[in-house]
């Protein structure tokens, strides 16, 4: 295996991630660590990347089951079905207090991770056969070494000089011998740096560029060293025009030379051709370096310039962007850094030779790999706000938050980007201010909720008849109305506290197989009893035989309760709330709809985003539906909102059961239309 070994880590513990990364850096073999927060993230990534880029597929896994039962893990079932990895290449972490059984044949290591156990796992990993993609690459390499030539790509003549039936090499490197030397004579130091990067990128490190700024220094170097090509700007501090070329030619008359003239000096360039120059170029700021690279490639390879392959397009960070105060990084399809600005070097405390060509996730280990893979896959930009990055290269920045924006560098005719440009802006002060307000709001909601809980418990005891019959009788109706009002307020405050928990930590769920029908039936009865709207009934239709689903029962109860209370609130008197659960193929569908005023089309897409701008307090804050979305996403559900054809609004949830393929779940807006 020539490439680095990819290890996928699923663990919410930053300590385990940091320790594993440290251990991998001390190993003689190169490793790359990709961190994920959930099994769904990994499954989505595998679906997205499978068959497109073998270099980014996993060679091993370190998985922390957390509160989930490993025997019900969708990820392990998927890996078992695909049979791409040996079970010994998958390590499951076990907490010291755990007593549950783990599946056989997988490596089991203690958590927190211990260095000796991780190294033992890596030793076992090194003895396993390569993954399927690697085996096919190794087989192709062995066949080529044995003399079996692979068929080369046939191309039609399209401006690159190759006709139908001609063979064309796919790599620039194959046409060049190694150890080529080029001397650049140019008074501008930036030209040397840009050309050196360009040659290294396109010629695979086979060309060594040396530079000088004066005719005197160039003459001295030409006498002492052998070069394969010379690039000479004719306007030097100690010489100018045709005299510069004549002097250089007198020292090395046989040397292949490219001259460079200023705009408007084309006649001088024509004269240099008569004196033996191979080509002249006009200094065009927009195209100078690519044109010079192409001319040098033609000169060194011996091919006519009109038959040289098109150079790979590349986005250069300009001087203004290079000195920007925010991080800017260009990455290629293998997620390696192609370019970056000074701010990234400063924050990472790394040198250019360490950064360029290295995997982005070796320097930003907390970054999510799935969104960037999607940018390369579908060519659409990605953004994420208030993203926490506490480690950048060798620098550690606790409680630092960043707004991230990644967009593809597309060229006309390209279906997929060759590079993605990533910008990260430090927004820590803004986020800290927001967190302080949220802490205060959540603390206030928590303190108000406590006496409401006391009132609820007292009313439950009184209305339950535990302290005797209520007199006069009409007092019972008043207390029942008070109980329902108190319950609604308590639910709203609980939503506020729970939303804060979801946004401040990922460790809020305890997953285990549960019957979703049983939970739905119990919640429907509770909401109908507490809704306070006796003219609205909840009609249930639950399909029999739906299998248990891995979920957190308390969270799913909250989800159903919020959806049903919302439906009751907007339903017209005398109508029914439909609460249905059924299956279609391998999809569990959960439907909640009412016959009330329809939601505006402009609100359908934003109803789950958070606080709604409804203009009236009677419509609520929208936090309950926002919490529903958070719970649904954490459980692998899709959630959507639709207007019915006649009257009313429907909320639809879908969950994919274990099936033959783990394709990404599509939007419910398209699969459920026929229900209405």
* Domain assignments of the chain as residue spans, ordered by start: 5-138, 176-302, 319-418, 432-504, 512-675
Question: Residue 64: pLDDT above 60?
Answer: yes
Distance CA(48)–CA(75), nearest Å, equals 15
Question: Residue 547: pLDDT above 80?
Answer: yes
- Is residue 436 within 8 Å of residue 453, measured between CB atoms? no
pLDDT band at 515 (very low <50, low <70, confident <90, very high): very high
Bridge partners, residue 655, by sequence: 588, 637
Which segment, 289-298, 320-329, 600-609, is predicted with the most confidence on average?
Answer: 289-298
3-state SS class at 357: coil
User: Considering Cα of 475, then 480, then 485, then 489, what sign does the dihedral take?
Assistant: positive
**Over residues 212-235, mean pLDDT:** 90
Find the range with the poorest average confidence among 518-522, 571-575, 667-671. Answer: 667-671
Average confidence score pLDDT of the chain: 78
**CATH code given to domain 512-675:** 3.30.565.10
Higher pLDDT, 515 or 304: 515
Assess whether the region 176-302 and the region 319-418 belong to the same CATH fold. no
Tell me whether strands 90-95 and 107-111 are parallel, antiparallel or unpaired: parallel
- Is residue 408 within 8 Å of residue 374, measured between CB atoms? no
Distance CA(21)–CA(15), nearest Å, equals 10
Name residues whose C-beta falls within 8 Å of residue 533's C-beta, 6 or more positions apart in sequence. Answer: 568, 571, 573
pLDDT band at 311 (very low <50, low <70, confident <90, very high): low
**Over residues 594-623, mean pLDDT:** 56
Name residues whose C-beta falls within 8 Å of residue 128's C-beta, 6 or more positions apart in sequence. Answer: 86, 88, 89
Q: Residue 225: how many CB atoms within 10 A of its CB?
A: 10
Distance CA(578)–CA(599), nearest Å, equals 17
396 closest CA partner among 361, 349, 353, 432:
349
For residue 125, what are the CA distances in angstroms to 139, 141, 223, 641?
A: 20, 22, 55, 47
Higher pLDDT, 160 or 176: 176
DSSP assignment of 558-619 equals HHHHHHHHHHHHHPPTT-EEEEEEEEETTEEEEEEE-SSPPPPHHHHTTTTSSS---SSGGG
Q: Please state, for a pLDDT cut of 90, what percent of the chain lies above it.
A: 15
The pTM of this model reads: 0.49
The end-to-end CA distance of the chain, in Å, is: 54
> Which pLDDT score is estimated for 134?
54
3-state SS class at 105: coil
**Over residues 338-344, mean pLDDT:** 88
- Strand segments (E) across 152-292: 180-185, 207-212, 229-233, 235-236, 239-240, 257-261, 279-282
Q: Which CATH architecture has domain 176-302?
A: 3-Layer(aba) Sandwich (3.40)
pLDDT per position as a tens digit, 106-125: 989 988 888 899 999 999 98
Question: Residue 616: pLDDT above 70?
Answer: no
> Which pLDDT score is estimated for 62?
94
pLDDT per position as a tens digit, 423-470: 999 988 888 877 777 666 666 766 776 777 778 778 877 887 778 788
Distance CA(272)–CA(230), nearest Å, equals 13
pLDDT per position as a tens digit, 373-398: 889 988 888 888 888 888 898 888 77
Q: Is 214 exposed, middle or buried (0-12, 13-18, 19+ CB in 10 A)?
A: middle
**Over residues 599-618, mean pLDDT:** 52
Higher pLDDT, 54 or 273: 273
Q: Residue 589: how many CB atoms within 10 A of its CB?
A: 18
Bridge partners, residue 577, by sequence: 538
**Which CATH code, of 3.90.700.10, 3.40.50.2300, 3.40.50.300, 3.60.10.10, is assigned to 5-138?**
3.40.50.2300
Distance CA(291)–CA(310), nearest Å, equals 11
For residue 353, what are the CA distances in angstroms to 157, 211, 216, 218, 264?
A: 39, 19, 31, 27, 39
Alpha-carbon Rg for the chain, nearest whole angstrom, is 33
Q: Please state, for a pLDDT cut of 70, what percent of the chain lies above it.
A: 75
Distance CA(384)–CA(375), nearest Å, equals 13
> Which pLDDT score is estimated for 423?
92
Superfamily of domain 319-418: PAS domain (3.30.450.20)
Distance CA(654)–CA(667), nearest Å, equals 9
> Which pLDDT score is estimated for 404?
92
Which segment, 95-99, 169-173, 216-220, 498-502, is predicted with the most confidence on average?
Answer: 216-220
- Is residue 441 within 8 Å of residue 500, measured between CB atoms? yes
Joined together, the tokens standing for residue 209 give: 């560029």
**Over residues 181-210, mean pLDDT:** 79
Which segment, 89-103, 288-302, 429-443, 548-562, is predicted with the most confidence on average?
Answer: 548-562
pLDDT per position as a tens digit, 134-159: 555 554 554 444 444 444 333 333 33
Question: Residue 604: pLDDT above 60?
Answer: no
- Is residue 475 within 8 Å of residue 462, measured between CB atoms? no
The three-state (H, E, C) secondary structure of 417-452, written as one string: CCEEEEEEEECHHHHHHHHHHHHHHHHHHHHHHHHH
Question: Residue 598: pLDDT above 80?
Answer: no
Distance CA(298)–CA(303), nearest Å, equals 5
**Over residues 642-666, mean pLDDT:** 64
Question: Residue 602: pLDDT above 60?
Answer: no
Distance CA(11)–CA(61), nearest Å, equals 11
């Amino acid at each position: 295996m020539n490439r680095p070994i990819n290890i996928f880590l699923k663990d919410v513990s930053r300590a385990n991630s940091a320790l594993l990364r440290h251990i991998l850096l001390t190993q003689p073999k190169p490793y790359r660590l990709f961190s994920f927060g959930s099994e769904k993230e990994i499954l989505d990534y595998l679906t997205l990347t499978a068959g497109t880029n073998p270099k980014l597929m996993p060679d091993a896994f370190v998985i922390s089951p957390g509160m989930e039962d490993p025997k019900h893990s969708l990820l392990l079932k998927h890996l078992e079905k695909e049979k791409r990895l040996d079970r010994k290449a998958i390590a499951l972490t076990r907490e010291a207090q755990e007593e549950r059984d783990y599946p056989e044949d997988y490596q089991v290591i203690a958590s927190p991770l211990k260095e000796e156990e991780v190294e033992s796992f890596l030793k076992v990993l090194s003895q396993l056969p390569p993954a399927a993609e690697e085996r096919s690459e190794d087989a192709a390499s062995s066949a080529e070494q044995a003399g079996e030539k692979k068929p080369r790509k046939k191309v039609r003549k399209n401006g690159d000089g190759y006709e139908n039936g001609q063979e064309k090499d796919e790599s620039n490197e194959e046409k060049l011998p190694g150890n080529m030397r080029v001397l650049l004579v140019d008074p501008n130091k930036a030209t040397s740096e840009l050309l050196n990067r360009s040659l290294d990128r396109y010629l695979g490190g086979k060309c060594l560029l040396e530079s000088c700024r004066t005719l005197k220094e160039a003459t001295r170097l030409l006498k002492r060293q052998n070069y394969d090509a010379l690039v000479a700007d004719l306007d030097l501090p100690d010489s100018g025009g045709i005299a510069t070329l004549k002097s250089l030619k007198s020292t090395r008359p046989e040397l292949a030379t490219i001259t460079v003239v200023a705009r408007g000096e084309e006649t001088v360039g024509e004269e240099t051709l008569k004196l033996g120059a191979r080509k002249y170029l006009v200094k065009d700021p927009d195209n100078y370096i690519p044109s010079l690279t192409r001319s040098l490639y033609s000169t060194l390879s011996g091919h006519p310039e009109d038959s040289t392959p098109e150079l790979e397009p590349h986005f250069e960070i300009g001087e203004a962007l290079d000195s920007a105060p925010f991080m800017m990084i260009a990455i290629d399809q293998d997620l390696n850094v192609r370019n970056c600005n000074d701010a990234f070097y400063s924050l990472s405390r790394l040198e250019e030779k360490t950064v360029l060509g290295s995997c982005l996730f070796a320097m930003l280990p907390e970054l999510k790999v799935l969104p960037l893979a999607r940018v390369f896959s579908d060519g659409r930009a990605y953004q994420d706000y208030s993203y926490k990055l506490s480690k950048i290269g060798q620098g550690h920045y606790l409680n630092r938050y960043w707004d991230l924006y990644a967009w593809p560098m597309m060229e006309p005719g390209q279906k997929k980007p060759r590079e993605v440009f990533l910008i990260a802006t430090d927004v820590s002060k803004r986020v800290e201010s927001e967190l302080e307000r949220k802490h205060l709001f959540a603390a206030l909601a928590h303190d108000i909720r406590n006496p409401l809980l006391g009132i609820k418990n007292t009313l439950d005891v009184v209305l339950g008849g535990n302290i005797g019959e209520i007199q006069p009788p009409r007092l019972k109706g008043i207390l029942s109305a008070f109980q329902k009002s108190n319950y609604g307020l308590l639910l709203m405050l609980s939503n506020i506290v729970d939303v804060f928990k979801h946004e401040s930590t990922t460790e809020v769920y305890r997953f285990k197989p549960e019957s979703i029908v049983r939970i739905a039936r119990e919640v429907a009865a509770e909401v109908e009893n507490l809704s306070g709207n006796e003219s609205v009934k909840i009609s249930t239709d639950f399909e029999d035989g739906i299998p248990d689903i891995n979920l957190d029962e308390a969270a799913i109860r909250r989800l159903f309760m919020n959806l049903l209370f919302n439906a009751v609130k907007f339903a017209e008197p005398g109508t029914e709330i439909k609460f249905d659960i059924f299956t279609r193929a391998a999809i569990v569908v959960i439907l909640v709809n009412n016959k009330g005023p329809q939601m505006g089309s402009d609100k359908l897409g934003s109803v789950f985003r958070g606080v709604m701008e409804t203009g009236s307090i009677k419509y609520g804050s929208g936090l309950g539906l926002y919490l529903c979305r958070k719970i649904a996403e954490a459980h692998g559900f899709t959630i959507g909102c639709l207007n019915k054809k006649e009257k009313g609004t429907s909320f639809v949830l879908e969950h994919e059961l274990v099936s033959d393929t783990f394709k990404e779940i599509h939007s419910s807006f398209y699969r459920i239309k026929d229900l209405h």
